[in-house]
Structure 1
Amino acid sequence: MATDYDAPRKTDEDANEDSIEELKNRRNDKNSGKVDEDEVEAAESFELPGADLSHEELTVRVLPRQSGEFTCASCFLVKGRSQLAEERDGKFYCVDCV
């Protein structure tokens, strides 16, 4: 949020001059925009850590190795042939791990 440094600022005396009624009205205005929601409905949508996910199913499609790829023997990431730094004992290493 931008700050207008040329705008006059309130001093401590000005802040103390706000009436109780004005402060109450400001508080009520801030609360008027809130939406009442059912706490039970809101709680049902939250997923807690360690929750039982045994009913969930994960589907992963594994692709076969492509012709221009290798798996680094150090970081185990699949890299393109342009990232190949060296081959030792039949194992490939990427430029990041050498």
Structure 2
Amino acid sequence: MATDYDAPRRNETDDMAEDSLDELKARRNEAQSSVVDVDETDTAESFELPGADLSGEELTVKVLPKQADEFTCSSCFLVHHRSRLAESSPQFVCRDCAA
């Protein structure tokens, strides 16, 4: 709501005394009617990013088995190097999950 900072200011007690019940209801209805229900998926589908069409692309990734110096975190289930092992935990937990 726009505010006119040049207009003379009114006290809260003046506002309470001058505002009628009908005016307060009208203000409440105006404030509630400005809410718009927008579906985020509709908004996201209307945007098309340049170069975003990957339908003709084929991505290949070589997956390696867990190495001898790696462990699987029992909390996040990611494979980390032994240097990321939390020392205070009795299980294999990475430092990020232990913190």
- Normalised by the length of structure 2, the TM-score is 0.38
In terms of fraction of residues, the more strand-rich structure is 1
In terms of fraction of residues, the more helix-rich structure is 2
- Normalised by the length of structure 1, the TM-score is 0.38
